[in-house]
Each structure stands twice: as structure tokens, then as C-alpha cells.
Structure 1
Amino acid sequence: MAGKFRASNLVNTLLVAVAIAALSGCAGTSSPSKTAGQGSTKSAIGGYKIGEPYQVKGVWYYPKEDFRYDDTGIASWYGPGFHAETTANGERFDQNELTGAHKTLPMPSLVRVTNLENGRSIIVRINDRGPFMPGRIVDLSRRGAQLLGFEEQGSAKVRVTVLADESRAVAAAARAGQAGVDVSRVSPDGAPVPMAAPRGVVQVEGAKAPVQFAERRPFDPSETVPGATVDGRFMPAAVVAAMPVRGAGRIYVQAGAFTVYENANRLRARLAALGDTRIDPAMVGDTQYFRVRVGPLGTVEAADQVLTQVIDTGVNGARVIVD
């Protein structure tokens, strides 16, 4: 009986250990996705991914292809705790490469990230989802934070701009599963380069010479972005450019943007108790928008606090911007 009792205890202990391990594997994180065993050395090429709408901490995000994306906000970085993990599109995260996580952009895509506080600018490959803190626009690898000069402080005011043609090319390469194939085999519109079938020449007596059409030229991101294709992935080189910036920029919490002034004014009045709330008009193309903003705010920490308060009122689309 004693032996049976000890065996039963051992089985129960093992079951508890398995349960704890399972729960720890499901633990949530506010950082980019972490889906593989840390320390794995297996190569992961990844693929093209947009993804369905998803919700984190009550906030909805809507991933989509947006090759005109150009926005400002606060950047953060991630590194040692996620090194060698699998990213959201199946690539292997390397904290020493120039990659990043974004909440809605397609993966992979190439973006220029500019530090608005010092003018440093780099190109990074977006291959992960995050950061899942509402007040952050992009999470860069540790190497990216080092090159932009904010590793120590942890965050920076940045501008994030999609490189349209380059992003179409790397997306098409990933979509086609072109592991080991140079992205120059992708045309500017993202389609595979067409190959004409061979055929004989037909000469018609008295006919004019046939009109010659230029071939659609394949596009290679390395023509415009320093970098190289490694294992089917185009990886930007560690090159820092100096970009002109208009000072460090002021931080605001933007609660919404409306085409009808009365709607913007109602939201402004609703948020007035949170601080200096204003309506800033802006033209986007041919459309007039009225942006409701709280601020300017003196620090990133103050912006985070106000953003939380705005979201708590039910305005889930609020975000931190730099202007």
C-alpha cells in the first residue's frame, strides 16, 4: 500500500508539472509574438501574411496591405528575451538584424524608420506583430534601437514610412515561397516576371516592322536599399542615413478624426476634462478631416497615462502621435 501511495503521489506530481508547463506556454505577453522554443537553431524562412482583425486588451487592430502608410508615434524595442523565437509570419527573430514588429502592416514589408529626435534613419524588415501596448507604433530589434540611438532610453519619437515598390517585391517573394531565389525575379507590381514562350518569326510581305514593347523590368530592392537576399529574405544592411527633422516634435493623444466638424466637437467636449483638448483640421487628399487631440504632452509617460484615460472612456481607436 505504501508503494502504491508513493506511486500515486508521483503520478499526481507529474500531472501538476505538465499542467503548469501548459499554462506557462499559454501566458500572454504585451510584446511581439513568441511562438517557438527559445534557443532553437532551425532556420525559418517565413511567408507572406496579413492576418485577420484581432483584439488585444479591448483594442481592435485591422491588418491590411497599405503601401502608402506614413505615420508618427513612439517606438520601442525588443531583443534578448525573444532572440531565436519564431515571428508572426514564421521567420526566425534575430535581435542583431534590422527587423521590427507592427500591428497592421503586411509581413514582410520594408519601412524607413526615422528618429525624430536626432534625425537618424534606417530601413527595417517588418516580420512580426506588435507592440501590443497602445501607445507604441513599432517595436524594433535591439540592433535597430542601437542604430537609431534609443537603446538606453527604451523609446523614441519616430516616423514610419512604407517603401512601396520594395515592399511589394519582398511580399511577392515571400508569397511565392522563393527560398533561395533572388527578389529580382519579381516585377515592380509584385507579380512574377513573365517568361515569353519561344516561337518562330513570321514575316509578312509589305507589312510594317512590328512595334517593339519594352520588357517589364524586374525590381530588386537592393537597387534602392542597401542589403542582400539571404535564404530567400531580403535583409536591409546596417546603414544609418541622416534625415532632416523639424525639431523633436510634440506628443499628442489623437482620439479620432472626423469629416464632420460637429462630431469632432462632441468628442472634444467629452474629453475636455483630461487636459488641453483641441481640434486640428487637416487635408488628406481632397478630404477635410477634423482631428481631435489631447496635448501637447511633455513626456512619453504622460502620453501613456492620457491614452489609457481616453481608451477607458470607450475611444478604442485612440493613439499616440508626434507632430
Structure 2
Amino acid sequence: MLRSRGLFRGLAARAGVLAVATLALAACAETQFAAHTAKRVTGSADLPARGVYKVGKPYQIDGTWYYPKEEYDYREDGVASWYGADFHGKPTANGEVYDMNDLTAAHRTLPLPSVVRVTNLDNGRSLILRVNDRGPFAKNRIIDVSRRGAQLLGYEAKGTTRVRVEILPEESVALRDAMLGKGRGEGAVVTVSAPAAPAAAAPAVVVATPAPPPVMVQTAPPAPAPVVAATRPQAAVVGGAYVQAGAFSTMENARHLEFQLQDYGPTVIMPVQSGAATLYRVRIGPLADAGEAQRMLDRVRGAGYSDAVVVAD
């Protein structure tokens, strides 16, 4: 990492913080597939990190020049790695404190901080991360994520994976404007956090518009009429068994999964109230009997949706 080379020492300026948002990620206990983000406003006492907004000047590492810039249409495919205990508790390139259990990342040229979506191209998992550091500078890798990020994206043990990195322009610009608008003596921090890693493998993740965390139960409660994508025929839901592949706090993510499952049969999106939030459950069915449900489950899991389950209404 660049900070280990001393090029960003002195940038860890400490100042009063007005926090604008915290993105919180929670895994669904029923399917261990879905994830959501929640936004809250918090006082400076809640945030240990003190960061500033910066782009930075061109710099050289091992003979290669890098040119930081505001690039709000950035999208790139390449190899991701992750970094952990060796940097835990040390200052990042924009003056925050690195926590390997937060959902953050290091990038060679994007503004600090900015918000990106990282998709693991080997398993389809996707995660929103806050870029607050510089790196990586090895073997043409394009991003270095926190240890927690690597766990949720499913490649901690492997070490590296193929990813797609896309900046989220609206979130990144809003963060920039909020931080710069506070003047030279103030800053703002967006923190992305996740719960402790479960004993089982990390869940597949799709993250989108923030929403309150859903409360999930093992047996699905009665639901309103299903919502079906406009390009798909609507299945008659009269009870019976379903294969549920995911549950989401936003319709956008539910439709994304519904599109991925379109070759498996009639797919429905069933909304259900969970406290103050609406949860959108993506299901294949209804299926004729338990045998058909088991065959569909085996097929879906065999295609990589290992956390799919059979449910009945």
C-alpha cells in the first residue's frame, strides 16, 4: 500500500466531523443470500475516523505513473486483492483509520473518498464499498478491498479474484460536495459496516438503495399478490412449494435476480412487510409437488445459487 511507502504521511489530518451517512450491510438469515444497506445520520462521537476529501497529484510507484482524477463514469474489469491485519489501525491515504472489518477499499486513482460497486465476476456477488485509500500496486490489480469485503465477496481464502469495479456517481458526488461544503476545518465520513462473519461461507451479496434491515423468519408468512417483471408471464400463485433464491429490500435488486433466473421457469417477486420495511422475495414456482421442488432446488443450487431454499405458502 502507498501509505507504507510514506508518500501519504502527513495526510492524516484530524478535524471535527459531521457524518452524512452510514451504509450498513446485513445478511438475510433465511437465505444467506441477500443484503441491504441502511442510511442513518450520526454525530461525530460515533465515528472514530477523521478523513478529508482529496484527489491528489500524479505520483510514481516502481516506475509506473498514476494520475488521480474525478472520474464519475469509471468502470473497469480486472483482478482484486484484499488487505488486512498488517494495515489495521493505520492511517489511510485521506486521513481515516483503516479498519479491516469495515467495508472499504483502496484504489490507485479514484477520488478519496468515493463510493464503488465491486462485483465478483467468478460468483456474481456484489458489494458497495467506500474507497478511502491508495493501492494496490502489484501485478496490475485494480482494487484492494478490506478483509471483510473479501469475505462477503467470497474470495478471502483465495486471495484474489476477477472483479468489475463501477463508481456510483450520485453517491460519490454527494459525498464530495458534503465534505467540501464544510470548509477547510471540517470533513465528513461515509462508513460502510457489516455484521460479524457467520460460521458458514459468506453470503452472496447484492447491494443497492439504502433501506432499513429486514427481519427474516424461517417460514415465509402470507404475502400480497406477487409482482412479476413486465417482460415475464405472471404465474398463478395459488399456494404450493417455491424455490426461493433471494430476498431484498429493494425492487431493483429483486428484478435483477429475477432476470438471472428467467430460464428456470415461472419466477415471481413476492413483497412482504417486515416491520416498517418491505422485503421482496424472489421465487421460482409455484411447483407441483415436493419432488418437483427438490429437483428445481438441485438445479438452482447447481447453477451457483447455493443458498437457495424450498419454501411453502
User: Does 1 or 2 have the higher relative contact order (CA < 8 Å, sep 6+)?
Assistant: 2
TM-score normalized by structure 1? 0.46
The answer to which structure has the higher helix fraction is: 1
